Amino acid sequence: AQRVTQPEKLLSVFKGAPVELKCNYSYSGSPELFWYVQYSRQRLQLLLRHISRESIKGFTADLNKGETSFHLKKPFAQEEDSAMYYCALKRGSQGNLIFGKGTKLSVKP
Amino acid sequence: EAGVVQSPRYKIIEKKQPVAFWCNPISGHNTLYWYRQNLGQGPELLIRYENEEAVDDSQLPKDRFSAERLKGVDSTLKIQPAELGDSAVYLCASRWTGGVQETQYFGPGTRLLVL
């Protein structure tokens, strides 16, 4: 079965500390993975996708097919990074997304 | 550009009552999605439209849920009758399936509370 697992409901770090939000997936085909973010009182929006291999707002994520993981990382967390983060798996070529349950990141001053 | 527009933003109804949600996608986006997001969960797909055709409605509870996308633009999602378990945020998203990177853009959602 296709599934996305985010094991942490809440992750709390201090400003300037490194942060890693975990995401594991289960998919039989060639996966395409995304991180979406929802800031307080804002709509869900795309943060980054693995095929772009880009860094957005200092965040990076590497697809590890051996470990079936797509963890989101940032070396120095900022208070404005506080938000809900959702990992998502694109199923097939039609674009349907399967989301994880999300991790709430809280960056304390 | 206003992005994906949804209305109403909030709705409180009693169980067994009908309710409808409306979505206006980004202009030119041919693909439209309805998701349901329960408390503490990620969004789950209900139905996907390609233009006016529903191409994936396998997760839509068809006994009480219905959707339409007349003229391939705006869409309406209806629940009749609503049950307590339907309390959730209903999200609409749209996408243009013609670019290199086909991003889904989400609306603000409609928060439904069934009493």
For A71, the token pair is: 């963890």
Q: How many CB pairs under 8 A join A and B?
A: 47
Q: Does A83 touch chain B (CB under 8 A)?
A: no
Q: Are B70 and B86 within 8 A, CB to CB?
A: no
Binned at pLDDT 50, 70 and 90, residue B98 comes out as confident
The percent of residues in chain A predicted with pLDDT above 90, rounded, is 76
Interface list for A 56-75 with B (CB within 8 A):
none
Q: Does A102 touch chain B (CB under 8 A)?
A: yes
Where do the H-state alpha helices sit in A1-109? none
Q: Does A4 touch chain B (CB under 8 A)?
A: yes
Q: Which tens digit of pLDDT belongs to each residue from A34-85?
A: 999 999 999 999 999 888 878 889 999 989 989 999 999 999 999 999 999 9
Three-state SS string across B46-73, please? EEEEECCEEEECCCCCCCCEEEECHHHC
> In B, what residues contact A, Cβ < 8 A?
3-4, 31, 33, 40-45, 48, 55-56, 91, 95, 97, 101-109
